[in-house]
Homo-oligomer: A and B are copies of this chain.
């Protein structure tokens, strides 16, 4: 048992921390100003492309991808501490490194399950950061955390598949550069419950695709992430070779995609909590109320201490989960993946809430990143299935040990 990062991780963390300090944090107000000035909420602020170029030149690119043919070849355990750092500026840093969801999961999916042609056509431009992608699984009408509820149909018709259904929370799809949708639907509703679903690639400009609107998250459009689209697929016909993997393989692909995705989310949440705690400490040192800095007030100190304690515990559990994924595989790490999905958003929500309280009105406003960080953390208690579903499943596993 050893709690030290290995040498490569240490080196990359230092390089990444320098990039954040020298480039990303200074770009935050620039980004906000460019967004405000653009008129179009979905416009792409130029500062982001500058950051991408800079990150690439510093060797901070596609770090998330374990396959060395395409990415940095890091293990989950090596990448996790880097993902954490990007969470400190979640609107800018992940995309600057070409490590932003949902593209990361989509790239992994294409690298692992895509055909050569699919990889050539879609993975390459994604790896280059030239286009973006969306993952279309959740549906408005059903509890999508239960995959058997998926109502979208993917029906074979000659050399094509025809896709019909409505998706929402397709993150990234409002970004005009988002060119490809990976869509989950049922090819065989009569099959065994986890063999009914398939995944298929649908280019955005295919006839019958309608991006209806962006969903908001506590008032935010999440435009920097490309928003969250509601999309209609009406008689959308794509070539049969657009299927990812085999018919009936959709559920397994989704599961494979979710494991690393959650690790990344959770590590970024830890970075978000660290940023919030830093902001709270700085505020506490600066702000005077009733004759004393907040830093000398017992309640604020309690928030700070409790935040530190909670962050440390969450980080270790996420890192152990990454280590398990590397050593015994996603399936062997199933319980831990559920555990961090439950624990980390709630932790981050708590820490950020305290930082907001320390800032007063500024905390809920556009003058600090806190309210937006909070909205993200809160939403992650729902995304990829509500916590309650994961708790019920984790409890079943625990009970099984004793029955």
Residues on A lying within 8 angstroms of B by beta carbon are 1-6, 9, 77, 138, 140, 143, 145-146, 149, 168-169, 215-221, 277-278, 281-282, 284-285, 287-290, 295, 297-302, 304-306, 308-310, 312-314, 316-317, 319-320, 323-324, 335-336, 338-339, 342-343, 356-357, 360-367, 371-372, 374-375, 378-379, 381-383, 386-392, 394-396, 398-399, 401-403
Contacts and interface: CB of A to CB of B under 8 A. Distances in A.
Contact of A298 (B143, B297, B375): B297
A73 B392 CA distance: 43
A218 B298 contact: no
Contacts of A338: 305
A13 to B, nearest CB: 12
Given A146-B290, A217-B371, A379-B364, A305 B357 contact: no
A365 B2 contact: no
B398 A304 contact: yes
B219 A221 contact: yes
B317 A364 contact: no
Given A1-B5, A1-B319, A305-B390, A364 B312 contact: no
A302 B299 contact: yes
B375 A360 contact: no
A266 to B, nearest CB: 12
Contacts of A6: 1
B399 A218 contact: no
Contact of A312 (B336, B375, B403): B336
Contacts of A304: 394-395, 398-399
Given A281-B399, A306-B391, A313-B314, 6 more contacts: A2-B323, A219-B371, A290-B389, A308-B395, A361-B383, A364-B382
